[in-house]
Amino acid sequence: MRDARVPLPPGTPESLSRRAQCFVETHGIRLPCLDIRPYRDVWLEHGIPAAEIDRVVAFQEVWGGIALPPAPAYEGGPRVLEADIPEGSAADGWRFPAGDCRVSMAYGFMIGPGGEFGIDADHWTPLHASTQGWVEALALAHHAGRWARIVTRIKGDAVEEVDLDGFEPVPEVQGLTDTWWRGKDSLIAIYRGEAVGYTAPHCQEARIYSGLDAWGLSGH
């Protein structure tokens, strides 16, 4: 039996927006996850730096086992946030898995050398500057989808024609390849991860959430 509310990850309540806090607490489930610490010596023997193991342990302590509602893109994102053995090198940078996909995918979700949340398509493509940014984007998508009067989906080259004049970036999502924009009465999400990761512009997508009031625009 699951608890009705998921305790917020240690260290994040003050930095997550109120909207994201409510999203995680209300819609999240925290499941048992792998304890990384017993694998430390084995991983060290395989040449994985201690600092990288520390990053995996830290991720697991904060986000490990949290299952959230699916994202609008990337076939929903990770089923459960959970770390695993790092891969990479000092020259190319170290990354580690962020959780298994919900469906069969041609890429996986990874945490980058600087803590970025992204996908390992034909090449590493960071979507948000942190896992927290990914969670903020999930929360915003859930909120906007609920309160918008109209949701318009745009794909391919037409995404480049989306007019962002008068819009400002939403800072809490920490967007890199993927971004969110807030206007007078609408929010725009632009998903370019697959397009960049595969050098395939036809894969980019935008969603325009229109007809939002002040509450709909922010959720707090």
Question: Do 95 and 124 touch, CB atoms closer than 8 A?
Answer: yes
Using alpha carbons, select from 219, 137, 216, 212 the residue that is nearest to residue 177.
137
User: Could you tell me the residue ranges of all domains in the chain?
Assistant: 18-134, 148-218
Is the pLDDT reported for residue 99 higher than 90?
yes
Between 9 and 68, name the one with better pLDDT.
68
Question: Do 212 and 137 touch, CB atoms closer than 8 A?
Answer: no
Using alpha carbons, select from 134, 78, 131 the residue that is nearest to residue 102.
78
Average of per-residue pLDDT values in the chain: 92
Reported confidence tier of residue 57, pLDDT bands at 50, 70, 90: very high
What is the CA 12 to chain-centroid distance, rounded? 15
